[in-house]
Structure 1
Amino acid sequence: MSVGLEVLNGNDRVLIDSKYKNHFLRQKVTVSTAKPTYNWIGSVARVTITDAVCPIVLWRSAAGFGFYSLTWQGSNAIASLHTPSGPGTSVTFYVFDTGVPSHSGYGLQVYNDQGELVYDALAKPLRIKSYVRGQGSLTTAMDPLNIPLAGEYAYGSGSFIGSIIGIMSGLILSYQVIHVFRYLVESGGVLKQQQFTPYSFESKAGFDTSTQFENTTFDYQVMVADVAGY
């Protein structure tokens, strides 16, 4: 860069730059799950992120959770997690988003040429420890991940939801829909990927048809962040 402030680490990676925006801890909240409004086994946890820009939602819990959705209502975003555990399961959300200026009167703040805050020395940054991405299929072996965890951490995943839709031949038409949900759970000091079937549906009719199957292939990503002191 020719003008402005730039800070690099020992690997020449940019840490602070007046062009790039950093994500900081915007919200930390512990909630209990409730029965889902959709017809799934398990329970769901939600958190509302007010005035969201580009939120990254991580979490930690003794139970296994998977990321279900991020929906928008105006400038607010609602993040939802699903767990095989029943209602009343505790989970802590860590929501990281672009910065909101602190007003302490001291410390370092960096703005870009649009007047947007890109760095605040008093904010708690997103500190990524591990990142894994891949592609999954419901008919292929599931990657267990086994990401080592140490200290205080939070983790999150992309979409882990898939479906198998089948129409089987014979004198009876059997139309079957199976949802498979993949989620993350800590076990023995590592983060594992597991799955369960929260929903299935089958309908039969008395006429013949050919066999057809549709199998969903989906991408996934997993992030582990250091949240010690957060």
Structure 2
Amino acid sequence: MNFAVLVFPGSNCDIDCYKAVEDTIGQPVDYVWHTETDLSKYDCIILPGGFSYGDYLRTGAIARFAPVMNALVQAAALGKYILGICNGFQILLESGLLPGAMLRNRSLKFRCHAALLQVENTDTPFTKEYNKGELINIPIAHGEGNYYCDEATLAELKANNQIVFRYEAGSNPNGSVDDIAGICNREGNVLGMMPHPERAVHEILGSADGRRMFTSILSTWREKHGAAAIG
């Protein structure tokens, strides 16, 4: 299984994502520069955290127009797995691959600490090895992670089981609507989340709860492609 980690000017979690793939599932992984126009080689594409283009206009708003984004949209339409983490989630929202928008944290402060997430949907390639309702410890690090959508969109997210993660009740760190920490598209192959699973793959980091996201992706891909892909 081939992984790509997209790199925009200002990305700063690209190495973390690369190492998470390398260390947890040992699959081939490449850094892919934002000027690339062909992602056909890759089965899973990760948009890492950071401050793409300095976030000078709005988080993810400039990265949305990078050349690689046309290829990313095509990959999503083909059913390939797309994982946007933090700034990557913001880029997915700006590109229209996921619904909604990001606002400044309600506190107007950058928040960087461990966070408990409740797993709401285990029927995605990213969460099949978690248990529904399970609380997992995944750190956050963002200043604009306050997810917002209108009531009609929220109703659609709920009806289609697109809310994948919520912050533990009573511990919402940014004010996001309905405590949302991560959502997917209707097809389930595109996931955006503000917390950083790549920073929670070893107990020495404070939690290994993020490991199962990467093992979930690999096991789902192997099941889809049959036993021959496992060897």
Same fold (TM over 0.5): no
TM-score normalised to structure 2 length: 0.24
Which protein is richer in strand relative to its size?
1
TM-score normalised to structure 1 length: 0.24
Which protein is richer in helix relative to its size?
2
Task: Mark the structure with the bigger radius of gyration.
Answer: 1
